[in-house]
Chain A
Amino acid sequence: MDSTLFILWTMVGTASLTLALVHGAVWLLDRRSLAHLAFCILAFSVAAIARIEYAMMRAATPEEYAQWLRWIHVALFFATLGLVMFVRVYFGTGRAWLGSSVIGLRAVVTVSNVLGPAGASWLVTGLEQLHLLGEPVSASGLGSARPLQWLATTTAILLAVYVLDASIALWRESEREARRKAVLVGGGIVGFVLAATIQPQLVIWGLVKMPIMLSPAFLVMLGVMTYELSRDIVRAATIQKEAHRLRDELAHIARVSTLSELSGSLAHELNQPLGAILRNAEAAELLLERPAPDLAELRAIVADIRADDQRAGAIIDRMRALLKRNSLELHQVPLQPLAQEVLALVRADAAARRVTLDCAVPESLPPVVADRVQLSQVLLNLIVNGIDAVSESSKRRVAIEARRADERTVEIAVADSGHGIAPDMLAKVFEPFVTTKAKGMGIGLAVSRTIIEAHGGRLWAQNNAQAGATFRFTLPVAAASA
């Protein structure tokens, strides 16, 4: 019998069930999103309520009607639990004692109805056939409310008060988004709770004759809530995108700042091949003025000019790669050549400050999953910090080491022989704008940690047993070589 009622209530049930599954999945993906869990519980309960309501409308005997009535109390308990929990976690307001009182009272009503004699709060002794949407439905004809019903009604009123109070508190926060939530969601829930409470109460206390219809109103409320939750998901995605953009931007600034620290030695490094090219060209000019130029020598000069040009080009390419703005692009990156490239950038600076650079990055290491530019940046930052740390020490050594930590991780360590880090600073050095350098901005390490964490790794500092500090970070090994 495909009646309109059947279709309507089935629709309410399946819609609620779908919403429950969707938000349940969201919660499973992110266990901290308790609002989604609360919503999921509520939506499941609504689906159950719809199913029970339909059965009640189709009940043939008062006994059957009463039997379903027991079960609707179980569904109502979970609906109340979901609702109280949702308001609590989603609004961040709502009085805990009021919320737990509502749940506690509801539990008493439910237990009494399920375990006690049939009709603990509302005894139905006879059914009446009414017409709804042109179809005959069963409704309670002869029924009487028991004293326990007072408790149920009080609970419903308390629930409305709880939500109203939470909404008002949220409204007081006077932030635009909060106010919107307070009015739309808070208002929606209060409206529903009132509607859903008043209608059955009127029926139960015998003031109107109609079936109990909670679920359609519940569905409307679910719609409002799911709209808000989805909006939050979209908003979070936008915020995250913006956060990623800012992170990339900040990483770029940090790279520029690190490179500017190195600019003196980079100029020196660049002037080396440029100077050689110039001198070679001048020598060639002089040789060409001779009556019988030494062609072999001239050829050697041209070959040297070519090689020096490539050397200068490589220096510029390395700098440009680091100065480029980029967003995180993960590739398989072999560590050894990357370490060599970074060392090439700092070698001149280290030599000028008489710091020995040791590099023990075995070629046999598997490639890691990383963004070339950002990984270079982290390594560069740690090495430059290391050089700074030892430049006042008697022993000036910075060592770069990489090893396979386990099946899926490679660990890279940059150790210096400086004075180490004060114990109370070990964690603080990663905070933004914390610096021990006269000219530093204090963002290098903070940005480095963000970068490594975005790669799914970890960056930390520790003091060495002998002298100086070691900065270590981990990176995931590329899947193919794991």
Chain B
Amino acid sequence: MSAEPLVRVVDDDGSFARSLARLLGARGFLVRTFSSGAELLAELSGEARGCVVMDLKMPGMNGLDLQSELAHRGLRLPVVFLTGAADIPSSVRAMRGGAVDFLEKRAPSEHLIAAVERALACERDQRNLRERFARLTERELEVLRHVVRGRMNKQIAADLGIHERTVKLHRTAVTAKVGVRSVAELTTLARDAGIV
């Protein structure tokens, strides 16, 4: 639960994990290595910041298992996959699972650094976004869920049993707090933040 975003390198091969940690460390990232998915899961909490760079093939829980386990636990850390030899089925599965990137272990370091940076940026944006939505009240969130489904103010008012003007007030508050100008933008962001 550090304030700084942390790059978590997960690889059963200690030497590789160490070398990657050195490279990323030399590039100014804060890095920690883990030798298995279980070890990572034991350390993580909902407040964790940063990203995960992990080996696809590991004994026991492999990379894809770890990815779904993270999602299952609601840990929204972006994942960069590394593999000794890429194969199409696992890369498809990894990207579908929301991986930021899927790289070979010996990919050029710029690609690797860029992927880690992208993962961190992605996590930062997500966090920002969630923080923006976190300011909403329960009622505002309720209204928001209806709005993004494309419902009219009148319908929302009827469903929630409130006055149409109150709905309008909630909507204005939502757009102001999240900082968006259109319903379309609001819908996209709400989806990205995982609100709806």
Contacts and interface: CB of A to CB of B under 8 A. Distances in A.
Q: Do the two shown chains form a genuine complex with each other?
A: yes
Interface of A: 264-265, 267-280, 282-283, 286-287, 297, 301, 304, 307-308, 311, 348, 351-352, 354
A286 B27 contact: yes
Chain B interface helix/strand/loop/mixed = mixed
Which of A267, A276, A279 gathers most chain B CB within 10 Å? Answer: A279
B104 interface: yes
B87 to A, nearest CB: 7
B109 to A, nearest CB: 5
Contacts of B151: none
Which of B20, B27, B104 gathers most chain A CB within 10 Å? Answer: B20
Nearest to B65: A354
B16 A286 contact: no
A279 B17 CA distance: 10
Contacts of B82: 275
Given A283-B26, A351-B57, A271 B15 contact: no
A268 B22 contact: no
Contact of B62 (A265, A308, A354): A354
A269 B84 contact: yes
Given A268-B85, A271-B105, A279 B19 contact: yes
Interface string B103-126: 011100100000000000000000
Contacts of B13: 272, 276
Contacts of A271: 84-85, 104-106
A299 to B, nearest CB: 12
Which of B27, B82, B83, B85 gathers most chain A CB within 10 Å? Answer: B85
A275 B25 CA distance: 16
Contacts of A287: 26
Contacts of B83: 268
B171 interface: no
B84 A279 contact: no
Q: Ordered nearest first, which 10 A-B pairs have the shortest CB separation?
A: A268-B84, A275-B105, A286-B26, A283-B22, A279-B19, A271-B84, A283-B23, A267-B85, A280-B19, A276-B19
A306 to B, nearest CB: 11
A110 B27 CA distance: 107
15 contacts: A264-B85, A270-B84, A271-B105, A271-B106, A276-B19, A279-B20, A280-B22, A280-B23, A282-B23, A282-B109, A283-B23, A286-B26, A297-B22, A311-B15, A351-B62
A308 B25 CA distance: 20
Given A279-B109, A351-B57, 20 more contacts: A267-B84, A267-B85, A268-B85, A269-B84, A271-B85, A271-B104, A271-B105, A272-B13, A274-B106, A275-B82, A276-B15, A276-B20, A277-B19, A278-B19, A283-B22, A283-B23, A304-B19, A308-B15, A308-B19, A352-B62
Interface string B1-30: 000000000000101101110110111000
Nearest to A348: B57
B58 interface: yes
A343 B18 CA distance: 25
Contact of A279 (B22, B58, B85, B104): B22
B16 A283 contact: no
A130 to B, nearest CB: 96
Contacts of A351: 57-59, 62
Contact of B57 (A270, A280, A311, A352): A352
Interface residues of B, number: 24
A286 B23 contact: yes
Which of B22, B25, B62, B109 gathers most chain A CB within 10 Å? Answer: B22
A392 to B, nearest CB: 16
Contacts of A304: 15, 18-19
B18 to A, nearest CB: 7
Contacts of B22: 279-280, 283, 297, 301
A311 B13 CA distance: 12
A280 B13 CA distance: 14
Interface in B68-120: 82-85, 87, 104-106, 109
Nearest to A264: B85
Contact of A283 (B25, B87, B104, B105): B25
Contacts of A307: 15
Contacts of A301: 19, 22
A478 B157 CA distance: 90
B84 A275 contact: yes
Contacts of B87: 264
Contact of A268 (B15, B25, B57): B57
Contacts of A275: 16, 19, 82, 84, 105-106
Contact of A272 (B25, B84, B109): B84
Contacts of B58: 351
A304 B87 CA distance: 28
B189 to A, nearest CB: 37
A372 B100 CA distance: 46
Which of B15, B27, B83, B109 gathers most chain A CB within 10 Å? Answer: B15
Nearest to A297: B22
A341 B26 CA distance: 36
Contacts of A276: 13, 15-16, 18-20
Nearest to B107: A275
A280 B105 CA distance: 12
B79 to A, nearest CB: 18
Interface in B25-43: 25-27
A303 to B, nearest CB: 10
B15 A273 contact: yes
A113 to B, nearest CB: 87
Contacts of B57: 265, 268, 348, 351-352
